């Protein structure tokens, strides 16, 4: 025969076990949700970094000019670049330019203060001192010397920023070389 105190004690034990299960389930749910939020945040960071790395922050502004001192060959290249809307500032000291023609080897140019066949200059608006960085709304002229390039020669230029995708473009020297030439 059952007594009332043993029924009450069994009910109390069942309630304690039920409360323990609810507490354990709540803690487990909190841990799972926390891990989910952490994973979501890391995924968003990864997507943001991937988009930043895969898009070019630079854009070509205007024409690419080939300059000639002797009206027979192109000896210097000049063009303007700017930042794409919303792009972060660019450290020009870490920027490189790859230049090649079908008749020459690939040349990698680095930033400097005097244009040569291995160094490019970066000047705001084409004048003044060579700059070390570029911010929004600036138009920076990049200039560098090249080994003489003949008429009707394709040239390939690739601007490689420290962060983001490279900006490649190809042009052709004109059929007749003048002092200042627009490469098409």
Task: Identify whether residues 128 and 79 lie together within a single domain.
Answer: yes
The more confident residue out of 55 and 181 is: 181
Q: What is the pLDDT of residues 34-52, one digit of tens each?
A: 888 778 777 777 666 665 5
As a whole number, the mean pLDDT across the chain is 85
Q: How far apart are CA 169 and CA 84, in angstroms?
A: 16
* pLDDT at residue 2 in the model: 57
Q: How many domains does the chain have?
A: 2
Task: Identify whether residues 104 and 125 lie together within a single domain.
Answer: yes
Task: Identify whether residues 1 and 90 lie together within a single domain.
Answer: no
Q: What is the pLDDT of residues 11-29, one digit of tens each?
A: 777 788 888 888 888 888 8
The β-bridge partners of 168 are 158
CA dist list (Å): 151 to 15, 35, 72, 163? 93, 63, 8, 35
The β-bridge partners of 122 are 142
Task: Identify whether residues 106 and 128 lie together within a single domain.
Answer: yes
Structure tokens at 50: 């991937």
Task: Identify whether residues 47 and 88 lie together within a single domain.
Answer: no
Task: Identify whether residues 40 and 121 lie together within a single domain.
Answer: no
Share of the chain above pLDDT 70, in %: 89
Task: Identify whether residues 32 and 102 lie together within a single domain.
Answer: no
Task: Identify whether residues 43 and 93 lie together within a single domain.
Answer: no
Read off the CATH number of the domain in which 78 is found: 2.60.40.10
Burial status of residue 175 (CB atoms within 10 A of its CB: 0-12, 13-18, 19 or more): exposed
Q: Would you state the torsion angle of the CA atoms of residues 138, 139, 142, 148, taken in this order, to the nearest 10 degrees?
A: 180
Task: Identify whether residues 23 and 76 lie together within a single domain.
Answer: no
Q: How far apart are CA 38 and CA 35, in angstroms?
A: 5
Structure tokens at 79: 């063009």
Pairing verdict, β 107-111 and 119-124: parallel
Q: How far apart are CA 99 and CA 109, in angstroms?
A: 8
Share of the chain above pLDDT 90, in %: 43
Task: Identify whether residues 47 and 95 lie together within a single domain.
Answer: no
Q: How far apart are CA 163 and CA 71, in angstroms?
A: 38
pTM of the model: 0.69
Q: How far apart are CA 130 and CA 115, in angstroms?
A: 10
Q: Which domain holds residue 170?
A: 58-183
Q: Using the 3D structure, point to which of 19, 36, 54 is the last residue of a domain.
A: 54
Task: Identify whether residues 113 and 168 lie together within a single domain.
Answer: yes
> Which of these, 83, 73, 84, 67, lies nearest to 143 by C-alpha position?
67
Q: Using the 3D structure, point to which of 35, 54, 73 is the last residue of a domain.
A: 54
Rg (CA), the chain: 32
The more confident residue out of 129 and 63 is: 63
Task: Identify whether residues 66 and 148 lie together within a single domain.
Answer: yes
Q: What is the pLDDT of residues 53-83, one digit of tens each?
A: 555 688 999 999 999 988 889 999 999 999 8
């Amino acid at each position: 025969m059952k007594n009332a105190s043993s029924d009450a004690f069994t009910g109390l034990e069942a309630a304690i076990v039920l409360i323990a299960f609810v507490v354990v389930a709540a803690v487990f749910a909190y841990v799972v949700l926390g891990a989910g939020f952490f994973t979501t945040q890391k995924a968003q960071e990864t997507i943001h970094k991937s988009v930043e790395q895969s898009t070019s922050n630079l854009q070509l502004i205007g024409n690419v000019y080939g300059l000639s001192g002797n009206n027979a060959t192109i000896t210097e290249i000049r063009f303007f670049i700017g930042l794409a809307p919303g792009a972060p500032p660019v450290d020009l000291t870490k920027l490189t330019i790859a230049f090649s023609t079908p008749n020459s080897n690939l040349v990698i140019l680095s930033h400097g203060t005097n244009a040569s066949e291995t160094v490019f200059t970066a000047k705001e608006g084409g004048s003044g001192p060579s700059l070390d960085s570029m911010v929004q709304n600036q138009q920076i002229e990049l200039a560098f010397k090249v080994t003489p390039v003949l008429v009707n020669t394709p040239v390939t230029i690739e601007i490689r920023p420290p962060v983001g995708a490279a900006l490649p473009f190809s042009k052709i020297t004109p059929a007749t070389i003048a002092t200042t030439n627009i490469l098409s």
